[in-house]
Amino acid sequence: AGGVTTIVVQPDTDPALDDPAGIDFVQRRGAALGLINVRAAGAATRGLEGQSMAEIGLMTEAGALYFTDVDHVIADSRTLMRVMSYATAFDALIAHRPADPWLSQGAVATSGELATRLGLPAAPAIAERIQLERDLALVEQTGARFLVDQISTAGALETLARARARGLEVAASVSVNHLSFNELDIGDYRTFYRLDPPLRAESDRLALIEAVRDGLIDVITSAHTPAPAEDKRRPFQDATPGAVGLETLLPAALLLHHEYGLGLLEVLRPLTQGPAGLLGLEAGVLAPGAPADLVLFDPGAPLRVDADRLRSKSRNSPFDGRSLQGCVSRTFVSGREIFAA
């Protein structure tokens, strides 16, 4: 219903997807549903514990598209270097979310006046850049293919740009939430805005939008993280981080077109061709012989988001009550219609 034709399941399941059997199970179950294309990412370390390397080679053969510990930071530089070095033998992509674990441990907001006034444990934005500097040094050492997972600060974007200028093979993704909201949206402890990474300053959000415009950011993700109501109806710092995002991904991304003047293709590329090319998929393009995974939508149609009407089993959407533009009419996978409004 959101126009999404392929999803990549993250490995932070229970148990973690850290062996080929888990990867095979997820992809077989996804194929059995007969709806969209369901692929899987593998864990970079066993149990997402950041201690010992997972079976990257065997998971690659099983079809894992890339390897990540998701929001678990691999603090041990030797472990991450081993993961990167081993991955190069398979030309495997390693994704890592940059956040200095000692600065960001326990933080639920970005340091600043608002976090201080609300009394929330916070981490400085520089924690992201510090960790990214370490990660990129290891990329330079190992020659690994690397994805900066959900970059969210202007300082980290500057570090990324310097790495690209040095010729490092580094891509970056951003959550659509961090393109749409800033730290002020937390307001009076609204837990639907409790995200990881935490929401940043408005200057960071605007820098992210410009990075999409300039092509510095390759992928816009839904960061789809369902959570039951009882996990969100808690004090802000105790609430589970994350938001549902599959149904609102396209209209939320189109805000960049309607409000900030990005061309329509500039917005659609990091939703389609960008991730497909990064992951080596044939999808994401309109060309003879390519999979007929298509979405028909009206980019100007008004849409008022009502969380109670979302098809997700969870309702934790920060876009609830917000007016957007862009409605999906029909979705096709391999030429077969799977959704009609």
Return d(Cα 19, Cα 319) in angstroms, integer.
Answer: 36
Return d(Cα 126, Cα 100) in angstroms, integer.
Answer: 9
Tokens of 162: 């310097």
DSSP class of residue 170 equals E
The number of CA neighbours under 13 Å toward the Cβ of 173 is 25
Sequential pLDDT tens for the chain (341 residues):
999 999 999 999 999 999 999 999 999 999 999 999 999 999 999 999 999 999 999 999 999 999 999 999 999 999 999 999 999 999 999 999 999 999 999 999 999 999 999 999 999 999 999 999 999 999 999 999 999 999 999 999 999 999 999 999 899 999 999 999 999 999 989 999 999 999 999 999 999 999 999 999 999 999 999 999 999 999 999 999 999 999 999 999 999 999 999 999 999 999 999 999 999 999 999 999 999 999 999 999 999 999 999 999 999 999 999 999 999 999 999 999 999 99
Give the helix/strand (H/E) hosting 93. strand 93-96
Predicted structure pTM score: 0.96
Residue 254 identity:
L
Give one DSSP letter per residue of 270-320, joined into a string. GGTHHHHHHTT-S-SS--TTS---EEEEEEEEEEE--GGG-SSS----TTT
Return d(Cα 144, Cα 134) in angstroms, integer.
Answer: 14
For the chain, which domains are there?
A: 6-293 (3.20.20.140)
Return d(Cα 178, Cα 268) in angstroms, integer.
Answer: 17
What is the crossing angle of helices 126-142 and 154-165, to 10°? Answer: 20
